[in-house]
Every structure is written in structure tokens, then in C-alpha cells.
Amino acid sequence: METVTSSTEKTIQEIWNTRPLIISGPCSAETEEQVVETAERLAKTGKVNVLRAGIWKPRTKPGMFEGHGAKALPWLQRAKKATGLRTTVEIATGKQVEDALMFDVDILWIGARTTVNPFSVQEVADALRGVDVPVLIKNPINPDLELWGGAVERVARAGIKNIGLIHRGFSSYGNTEFRNAPMWHLAIEMKRRNPELPLINDPSHICGRRDILQETSQRAIDLDFDGLMIESHIDPDNAWSDAKQQITPEQVGEMLSSIIWRREDVASEEYHAALEKLRQQINHLDDELLQVLSQRMKIAEKIGQYKKDNNITILQTNRWNEILERGTKEGEKKGLSREFIEKYLDAVHMESINHQKKVLDT
Ligand code: PEP
Ligand code: MN
């Protein structure tokens, strides 16, 4: 990972194109001193490109700290002047966009609670018309890629050229290891749909706690994310919001040093040849798997015919339990995880039922 010196020496486009793009700073701007000191200590690590701070905070419940609002914008200006770090804040209304731009905020981001609401996203997009500023769009709190993509489209239609995605995980009911379930497959699918947009991971809001921040960040980097947004605070335990997940600027530096930065590709013929050979084998096996699955469906259809002739229901719970039990036992012996086998058998079973239903309906 390259060391950054002073990021105002670079154009905002150069910063935007930096890989990995590292954004860090407090969940909320609390005082001018806190913002400036965080920025100074982050800049000292030499690994951070952009300073984040929430000044309009969408809180789950009333009575929690909702941010200082526009009053905190000059604090960010001062932090930028003192350190050279570019700045980013969350905006959720047209007025907030105007205020942030008036005070030279370099990058705007749309928060998860805003991405869910097309009215709000449209209002933000309308305020962005004719403005040249990069915009990061967090995933909506619910696992809905259409809604995420819709927000991207609204902002793109307003003429914004530099749009990026932030994966911050998805709300789920009940306690889990994560504050917001990462559902990595959704981030991967979003990247597949939008290969031209940088994808940043926000391990802080995914984890909600410090002890798994590093492994989550490493996972994101292994999945070829373009950068990280990590919340940091000069006194994490006493932060006014999200205290449990924040770390000190120095800890951000240490964490970034410990991450193994992987590349998506390398210019080595030997590596490419070896990979190509193995990929051929995988393609071959995938073809065989499909062949076998199609045979399995043909047998299911035959069973469907017998069921039809004898007026029997498609679903037989005992048989399904037997398939699950046999499959997980066999699969686990072969090194497959229980979670995978269950998902796989469930999908195969549903497809089987659909095939049988067609037979019963004809
Ligand atoms: C934040 O970044 O502090 C924040 C409010 O995040 P999210 O929109 O992901 O909940
Ligand atoms: Mn936060």
C-alpha cells in the first residue's frame, strides 16, 4: 500500500482514483478540536486519503445525538487546511447538499437510511444537477439491489460522473455476529452489475464492534473491493455515536499495515497458464454437474407421473428429511459445509418440485 503525503496536493480526481481509497474519521463531528485532532492523527499514519465525519446524523431513535449540522462544516474546512486530507460528509436533503458544497466538502455520501427512500434520493439528485462532485452511495438498509441500483441511476441522471458504492451491510432481525449482515454475495452481484463503479467496504457499520474489524476488512480486500471507510475517534469509548465500533487513528494505521493487499491480476505468464488449466477443469466439472442435475430432474418427473396416477401429493416431508439427512452426512464427509449442502439441496428440491408440478398439471 502506497503512503500518501498530502492529499490536497493531488486533484480530487487523483484522490478518487487512488487504490485502495481509504476514508476514515469519526462517526460524528463532535467538537472542532476533535475533528482537527482526528484529522491530524489520521494524516500522520500516511495511509488515509479522505476524512469522513457525520454532521447530519440519521439516528434510529429521537433524543440521540443528531449531529451539529452546518455549524460543523467550517471544522472540516479547518481540518482539511491543517492536514491536506480531502473531506466527505453524509447528506440526505437538497439543503444539506448545498451547505456541504458551500463549505468545499470534496465528496458527498448518501447514507443507508436515505438510499431506501426514492423521494429523498431524488431530492439529493436534483440538488446535484450541474455540480461536479463525486458521490458515494451506501447500500440501502434492506437487501435490495434494485433500490441500490435505482439510487445510482438517479444520481447518474443528474449528471454526476464519479459515483461510488459503499457496502455497509444489511439490517436483520435479532442478534447476530454482525451489526449489519454483510451478505457478501449481494456486494459481489452489485459489482458485477456495475463494474465501472468503485466499491468501498464499510467494516465499521457491518461489524458494530472493534474485534472483527480487521478480518472483515481483509475479507473485503480479498474480494477485490476498491477501498475502505473506517470510523475512527480520538477517544472511541466516549464517542457520542457508534462508540463500540470506533478505533483510534493509530489503530486505523496499524490495521491498514496488517492487511494483506492483494491484486486482482498479475502479469505473469506462468500464473495465467496454470490458472487457465484449472479453470478449464472447473468448466468441465460444471458441465458434468449440470448434466447430472438434468438427469435427476428427469427421474423426478417420472416420479411425478406415478404420483399423478395415484393422486399423491408432491411434497412428502419424510422423504425430504431423509434427503437432507443423507446429503448433509455425505457432503460433510466430502469436506462441504453444512450451510452449503442445505442451500444446495433446498435449491435442487425446489427445482424437482417445479418439474413434478408441471407433470401433475398436464
Ligand atoms: C455513518 O456512516 O455514520 C452512518 C450513519 O452509516 P449508515 O448510513 O451506513 O448507517
Ligand atoms: Mn456511524
Task: Give the tens place of pLDDT for each residue, 281-307.
Answer: 999 999 999 999 999 999 999 999 999
For ligand 1, whether the C-beta of 233 sits within 6 Å is no
Question: What does the pLDDT read at residue 25?
Answer: 98
Whose CA is closest to atom 2 on ligand 1? Answer: 27
User: Which atom of ligand 1 is found nearest the CA of 168?
Assistant: 9
| pLDDT score recorded for residue 316 | 84
Alpha helices in 184-316, H assignment, sequence order: 184-193, 203-207, 213-222, 249-258, 269-310
Q: Could you tell me which residues are beta bridge partners of residue 24?
A: 51, 230
Residues 291 and 197 in one domain: no
Q: Which whole number is the average pLDDT over 147-171?
A: 98
pLDDT of residue 2: 60
30 pLDDT band, cuts 50/70/90, is very high
Range of the domain at 208: 12-258
Q: Are 258 and 214 in contact (CB under 8 A)?
A: yes
- Residue 290 forms part of a structural domain: yes
CA 147 – CA 318 distance, rounded (Å)? 40
The closest residue, in CA terms, to atom 3 on ligand 1 is: 27
CB atoms within 10 A of CB 224: 13
C-alpha cell at 9: 496536493
239 found inside a domain:
yes
182 lines ligand 1 (CB under 6 A): no
CB-CB contact of 42 with 87 (8 Å): no
37 & 78 share domain: yes
Q: Are residues 239 and 186 in the same domain?
A: yes
pLDDT over threshold 90, residue 278: yes
- Do both 156 and 281 map to the same domain? no
Looking at residue 176, its pLDDT comes to 84
- C-alpha cell at position 215: 478480518
> Which atom of ligand 1 lies closest to the CA of 58?
5
Question: What is the reported pLDDT for 362?
Answer: 87
Sign of CA pseudo-dihedral 180, 182, 183, 187: positive
| Side-chain-facing half-sphere of 240: CA atoms under 13 Å | 18
Does the residue 305 lie in any domain? yes
* DSSP label at residue 199: E
* Among 258, 281, 309, residue at a domain's last position: 258
User: Looking at the domain assignment, is residue 251 inside a domain?
Assistant: yes
What does the pLDDT look like over 101-134, one tens digit per residue? 999 999 999 999 999 999 999 999 999 999 999 9
- With a pLDDT cut of 90, the percent of the chain lying above it is 91
pLDDT at 230 > cutoff 90: yes
Q: How far is the CA of 105 from the centre of ligand 2 (A)?
A: 18
The reply to whether 22 and 170 lie within a common domain is yes
Tell me how far apart the alpha carbons of residues 39 and 41 are, in angstroms, rounded to a whole number: 6
Closest CA to ligand 1's atom 6: 111
Which of the four pLDDT bands, split at 50, 70 and 90, describes residue 76? very high
Q: What is the mean pLDDT of the chain?
A: 95
Protein residue whose Cα sits closest to atom 9 of ligand 1: 112
253 lines ligand 1 (CB under 6 A): no
Domain total for the chain?
2
Q: Same domain for 138 and 42?
A: yes
Asked if 241 and 291 sit in the same domain, the reply is: no
Q: Could you tell me the CATH number of the domain that includes residue 311?
A: 1.20.59.10
Out of 51, 115, 204, 205, give the residue to mutate to test ligand 1, the one with the largest number of ligand atoms within 8 Å of its CB: 205
pLDDT grade for 4, boundaries at 50, 70 and 90: low
Give me the DSSP letters along 74-89.
Answer: HHHHHHHHHH--EEEE
CA dist 41 and 50 (Å) reads 13
DSSP 3: P
Q: Specify the residue with its C-alpha closest to ligand 1, atom 4.
A: 111
Within-domain flag for 235: yes
Asked whether the whole model's pTM tops 0.85, one would answer yes
pLDDT category at 340 given cuts 50, 70, 90 is very high
**Domain end position, chosen among 217, 235, 258:** 258
End-of-domain residue from the set 204, 227, 258: 258
Model confidence at 82, pLDDT cuts 50, 70, 90, reads very high
Domain assignment present for residue 2? The answer is no
Q: Do 356 and 208 fall within a single domain?
A: no
3-state secondary structure of 54: strand
What mean pLDDT do residues 138-153 have? 98
Our answer on whether the CB atom of 54 is closer than 6 Å to any ligand 1 atom is yes
Same domain assignment for residues 223 and 306: no
Alpha carbons 190 and 148: distance in angstroms, whole number = 9
Q: Is residue 5 pLDDT above 60, yes or no?
A: no
Tell me, using a 6 A CB cutoff, whether residue 48 lines ligand 1.
no
Q: Categorise residue 220: left if φ over 0, alpha if ψ from -120 to 50, beta otherwise.
A: alpha
Residue 181 is predicted with a pLDDT of 96
Evaluate: CB of 203 within 6 angstroms of ligand 1.
Answer: no
Distance (Å) from CA 231 to ligand 1 centroid: 10
Ligand 1 mean position, distance from CA 112 (Å): 6
Residues 288 and 227 occupy one common structural domain? no
Report which ligand 1 atom has the smallest distance to the Cα of 54.
Answer: 3
Q: Which ligand is nearest to the CA of 53?
A: 1
Cell numbers standing for residue 136: 458515494
pLDDT of residue 175: 74
Ligand 1 atom with the shortest distance to the CA of 169: 9
Residue 240's contacts (CB-CB under 8 Å, 6 or more residues apart) are 27, 28, 30, 65
Lowest mean pLDDT among 60-69, 214-223, 258-267: 258-267
DSSP string, 214-243: HHHHHHHHHTT-SEEEEEB-SSGGG-SS-G
CB of 137 closer than 6 angstroms to any ligand 1 atom: no
Tell whether 3 is covered by a domain. no
The whole-number pLDDT of residue 7 equals 61
Give the number of the atom of ligand 1 that is nearest the alpha carbon of residue 28.
3
Let me know whether 304 and 198 are in one domain: no
CA angle 225, 231, 237 (to 5 degrees): 145
What is the model's pLDDT at position 8? 64
- Whether residues 244 and 322 share a domain: the answer is no
Q: Which distant-in-sequence residues (6+ apart) come within 8 Å of 90 by Cβ?
A: 54, 55, 56, 57, 58, 108, 109, 110, 111, 114
123: CATH: 3.20.20.70
pLDDT band at 160; cut points 50, 70, 90: very high
69 touches 41 (CB < 8 A): no
Domain assignment present for residue 6? The answer is no
Does ligand 1 come within 6 angstroms of the Cβ of 168? yes
> What is the C-alpha to C-alpha distance for residues 312 and 64, in angstroms, rounded to an integer?
59
pLDDT for residue 314 is more than 80: yes
Res. 1: pLDDT tops 80: no
Average pLDDT score over residue span 189-213: 98
d(CA 226, CA 166): 10
